Structure 1
Amino acid sequence: MVKTTRWIGPICLTLGLTVAAAPQAMAQDETYTLRFNHVLSPKHPFHAGFEKWAERVEERTDGGLQMTVYHSSQLGVEEDIIEQMRQGANIGQNTDAARLGNYVEEISVVNGPYFVETLDKAYALADSESMQTWQQTLAEDYGLKVVCFDWVQGFRHFFTNQPVREPADLEGLRIRTPPAPIWQQSINALGAEATAMNFGDVYSGLQQRAIDGAELVYPNITAANLNEVLDYANETGHILLINFQVVSADWFDQLPESYQTALVEECRAAGQETSKHLQQASQEAKQQLEEAGMTIVEDVDKEAFRKAGEAAYEALGVLDAKNQVQEEIGK
């Protein structure tokens, strides 16, 4: 009996450790997948940036978390993808604060006129207490986890078939915007008639005269060949377009903690690298468009546009939220 007792203890202890470690080992061994959707073309710098993000995440997790990137809305339109995420699907979307503002209204200020005007201020938003609170509400109440928002496409300008130098020049022009309140109010406040339309329909919309122009960044124009149906680039720079990478909160919470960290950190790193690259890409696209015959209108009264844009925040009741975040980031 004495010998038996001596041997049972270590055996029981060893078995206990094996059983306790099993769930964690199984979680780390499981392979997770994320299908990531965006509306841009495969030629857009963001697509290469997203693929770089995916590669780094897979490398860092030893293949435990695998991302596949889909361009040109291959998985569906943005609003439908967001609803799928809310139901827990392993799918992600490149989106913006305007659409997220449909759920947490205050966060829409990020897409308002002249909200931030440098990359440094855009990156500083991650440390804003208000932004952190709004993201928590998105996750807890609406099932949408913001992975990061360090992806800055650049300044949006008005692209039209007539020159625009002040808000009055936009009067009566139907300008395409995404279908979200802050976009609509912003473009209306700046002097135009906002017209909701999916990005993929802009070219045909211009051909059919359903719209008179669009407000986009330079690389959007070259990537979609919109210079074939637009004559003027009016450099209002009214929005520094910050993009948000969003996934299902339920799906994200199921990931091992190390995978969550990898997804977030590599998102920020790839986003900041791509944003800097886009600054150069925007200048190259501008030069390409000018050489192709597009007229660049640089003598724009930005102060008049900046003053007019305040009406958008007031109309949506988010002026205080805008001022609070700007104070938090030192703008």
Structure 2
Amino acid sequence: MIQATRRAMFGAFGGAALAAPALFQGGKAGAQTVRALRFGHVQPPDGEVNRGILRAAQALQDFSGGRMRIDNFPASQLGGEREMLTQVSSNTLDMCITGPGVLGSWVRPISILEAPFVGRDFAHKLRMFEHPAVQASFRQLAEGRNMRPLEPFYYGTRHMTTRDKAIRVPDDLRGLKMRVPEAPLFLDMMRAFGAAPTPMSLGEVYLSLQTGVIDGQENPLPTIAANKFMEVQRYINLTGHILVPLVPVISNQTWTAMPEADRDLLRRAMREGIKLSDDLLTANETRLRTEFAERGSQVIESDRPAFQRALAPMYQRYEEVWGRGVLAQLEAL
């Protein structure tokens, strides 16, 4: 279902809707210049997203006859998400990948795409990317911040893990130190639940859980598994609070320097990687619910409607950020 929706919607994502003139990149006649794109991210080497990026890198090399390649830097080798986004914005890194909540630190309305309990399923979330208000925010990101979004990956549904306490209703979070990404929307969400949000890079989370610097964190099940968080957490609380798209962004200068034919090759290659990552991640989400319980984790069915009700005041405040009526329009798609 997700892949069919992608084919219908994203035939030229990052192209027509955000078109910009290409710059000629010269060289001696007949000489082949290899275009290397440096792609940094925080995902672990054996995670689904990194495997998808590796597939995209191989596809790009194949499609271009070796003329283009992606140099992949996983596991925070080049810094945390915000650091790498700053590098892309300043054109010292070609590509990275992050969630809309973090991108909302640069263009605030984009955060709506990662808002809690927004979107019935991921196919619905993909349709939101085509909404005129979202496209306008993407143009602002490209033109004002030098970061152009490409077609999103599916990153899973976020749940909470905790060390000492099961989380069934929002009041159970009161006073707990919960790691969140460095994004305003996530900070506000945890405050609405009564928790103490603690922003940090993904690479710092395991040690912080192990040493008690934080009490818990929230991520999709495959991310929890890939980072081995359940070695230092007892409870998996199935809050299902966010359906997560991960958005690759490319430096607008890198993009505009590429001929349209090369942009098409990159889009095609990324779609190959996205399909692999989406398929792996969807299968893993289903498998891990059972596997975590078999390994001794306490799997808690949290009261999702109670969490959604606790966010009502936050939704009202964010209308000023997202635009009056935009949330209702996206939910009605």
TM-score, with structure 2 as normaliser: 0.86
For residue 46 of structure 1, report the CA deviation from its aligned partner. Answer: 1.0
Could you list the runs of 5+ residues in structure 2 that have no partner in the other structure? 1-23
For residue 129 of structure 1, report the CA deviation from its aligned partner. Answer: 1.4
Taking a change above 3 Å as real, the CA distance of residues 26 and 326 of structure 1, as seen in their structure-2 partners, is: farther
- 1:289-304 equivalences under 5 Å are 289-298=292-301, 300-304=302-306
User: What secondary structure is seen at the aligned counterpart in 1 of 2:323?
Assistant: helix
CA distance in 2, matches of 1:27, 1:273: 35
Taking a change above 3 Å as real, the CA distance of residues 27 and 255 of structure 1, as seen in their structure-2 partners, is: farther
For residue 70 of structure 1, report the CA deviation from its aligned partner. Answer: 1.6
- Count of residue pairs brought into register by the alignment: 309
Pick from 63, 67, 75: which aligns with 1:64? 67
Alignment correspondent of 1:313:
315
Q: Tell me whether 1:195 sits opposite 2:194 in the alignment.
A: no
Worse overlay, 264-273 or 186-195? 264-273
Pick from 234, 237, 253: which aligns with 2:237? 234
Worse overlay, 306-315 or 187-196? 306-315
Q: Would you say the 8 A contact 1:126–1:132 is kept in 2?
A: yes
CA distance in 2, matches of 1:164, 1:237: 12
User: What secondary structure is seen at the aligned counterpart in 1 of 2:119?
Assistant: coil
Alignment correspondent of 1:118:
121
1:285 is matched by which residue type in structure 2?
L
Alignment correspondent of 1:73:
76
Q: Would you say the 8 A contact 1:124–1:329 is kept in 2?
A: no
Q: Would you say the 8 A contact 1:32–1:66 is kept in 2?
A: yes
CA distance in 2, matches of 1:319, 1:253: 29
For residues 223-269 of structure 1, what are the alpha-carbon distances to aligned partners after superposition, in whole Å with 9 as ceiling and x for unaligned?
Answer: 12111110011101001111010111011110111111222243244
Alignment correspondent of 2:209:
206
Taking a change above 3 Å as real, the CA distance of residues 146 and 220 of structure 1, as seen in their structure-2 partners, is: same
- 1:161-200 equivalences under 5 Å are 161=163, 162-200=165-203
Q: Would you say the 8 A contact 1:185–1:315 is kept in 2?
A: no
Pick from 153, 156, 172: which aligns with 2:155? 153
Taking a change above 3 Å as real, the CA distance of residues 70 and 327 of structure 1, as seen in their structure-2 partners, is: same
2:171 is matched by which residue type in structure 1?
A
User: What secondary structure is seen at the aligned counterpart in 2 of 1:127?
Assistant: coil
How much identity, in percent, do the aligned residues show? 26
For residue 138 of structure 1, report the CA deviation from its aligned partner. Answer: 0.5
Q: Would you say the 8 A contact 1:86–1:144 is kept in 2?
A: yes
For residue 90 of structure 1, report the CA deviation from its aligned partner. Answer: 4.3
For residues 260-309 of structure 1, what are the alpha-carbon distances to aligned partners after superposition, in whole Å with 9 as ceiling and x for unaligned?
Answer: 122224324432442233111112233222121101012x2211111222
1:153 is matched by which residue type in structure 2?
Y
CA distance in 2, matches of 1:124, 1:110: 10
For residue 222 of structure 1, report the CA deviation from its aligned partner. Answer: 1.6
For residues 42-65 of structure 1, what are the alpha-carbon distances to aligned partners after superposition, in whole Å with 9 as ceiling and x for unaligned?
Answer: 111111111111111222222222
Q: CA RMSD in A?
A: 2.4
Alignment correspondent of 2:107:
104
CA distance in 1, matches of 2:202, 2:29: 43
User: What secondary structure is seen at the aligned counterpart in 1 of 2:239?
Assistant: strand
Pick from 218, 223, 227: which aligns with 1:224? 227
Alignment correspondent of 1:283:
286
1:246 is matched by which residue type in structure 2?
V
Pick from 239, 243, 267: which aligns with 2:270? 267
Answer 1 or 2: which has greater helix percent.
1
For residue 40 of structure 1, report the CA deviation from its aligned partner. Answer: 1.5
Q: Tell me whether 1:94 sits opposite 2:97 in the alignment.
A: yes
Alignment correspondent of 1:9:
none
Taking a change above 3 Å as real, the CA distance of residues 147 and 320 of structure 1, as seen in their structure-2 partners, is: closer
User: What secondary structure is seen at the aligned counterpart in 1 of 2:150?
Assistant: strand
For residues 80-134 of structure 1, what are the alpha-carbon distances to aligned partners after superposition, in whole Å with 9 as ceiling and x for unaligned?
Answer: 2111111223421111111211111100111211112312112213322112111
2:112 is matched by which residue type in structure 1?
V
Q: Tell me whether 1:30 sits opposite 2:33 in the alignment.
A: yes
CA distance in 2, matches of 1:77, 1:309: 28
Could you list the runs of 5+ residues in structure 1 that have no partner in the other structure? 1-20
CA distance in 2, matches of 1:304, 1:248: 41
Taking a change above 3 Å as real, the CA distance of residues 220 and 152 of structure 1, as seen in their structure-2 partners, is: same
Alignment correspondent of 1:13:
none
Worse overlay, 317-326 or 80-89? 317-326
Taking a change above 3 Å as real, the CA distance of residues 72 and 306 of structure 1, as seen in their structure-2 partners, is: same
